[in-house]
Amino acid sequence: MKYLRYSILVFLTSFGGFWVSAQSGVNLKFGVNHIHFLHEPGSLRAHMGSQLGIDVIAEEGNMFFMPGLHYYRTSLYSLSDEESWSEFFTYKPNYHGAKVNAYLGKRWIKTKPFKLKTYLGGSANFVLATDENIERISDDDYHDVSFAIEGGTGIELFFFTIDIFYQHGLMKVIIDEPNSKMRIWGLNAGVFF
């Protein structure tokens, strides 16, 4: 957990420094995730999840730096072939985590009401807790921290934002499964102020 504390400290320091910049803002977001764990070579299992977070955007011209801090939850159980996104709304035991990310990006369109951006960077993911479940999966089954490369694109319309992102895990997440790397597609909606 010491890594999480250091990561949050870095985020808060960045947040404080960028807040005083005239070319900065805060993006509060909520989103859904479709997560695949690579359990064995060629074997993916899909899980549903969600996240709530905050990103700080510090701009210089069309370029920007975007550190962020997010809470996420992911279902412990994989989706069956018959299940779909609607299963997101039914309760299943989850594991809960925190993500600290840092991106560099560019605004391709920057008009008063509309902006289009792309970004690329990395993240550190921390497992915080695991809900009780019949398989007895616990926090001890996961690595404390894992790292990933992330990229995405988004639009801003006035102060509303929509982002689509992809996260490609670089490290295994589940201790006993050597190929358990996360592959995440996410959709976030939020407000920018």
Q: Is the pTM of this model over 0.85?
A: no
Strands (E), the chain: 24-40, 43-60, 63-75, 94-110, 114-130, 145-157, 160-169, 181-192
Residues 147, 141 contacting (CB under 8 angstroms):
no
Q: Which two tokens stand for residue 127?
A: 């497992």
Which domains can be identified in the chain, with CATH numbers? 2-192 (2.40.160.20)
**CA dist., res. 158 & res. 111, Å (int):** 10
- What pLDDT does 112 receive? 86
pLDDT tens track for 18-72: 554 556 789 999 999 888 765 555 555 677 889 999 999 988 889 999 999 999 9
Q: Which two tokens stand for residue 95?
A: 């594991």
CA dihedral 190, 37, 74, 120 (to 10 degrees): -20
The answer to whether 100 and 11 are in contact (CB under 8 A) is yes
Of 8 and 161, which is predicted with more confidence? Answer: 161
Inter-CA distances, 19 with 16, 58, 84, 170, 185, Å: 5, 8, 40, 31, 29
Q: What is the pLDDT of residues 70-99, one digit of tens each?
A: 999 988 777 665 555 555 556 678 889 999
- For residues 41 and 28, what is the distance between their CA atoms, to the nearest angstrom? 36
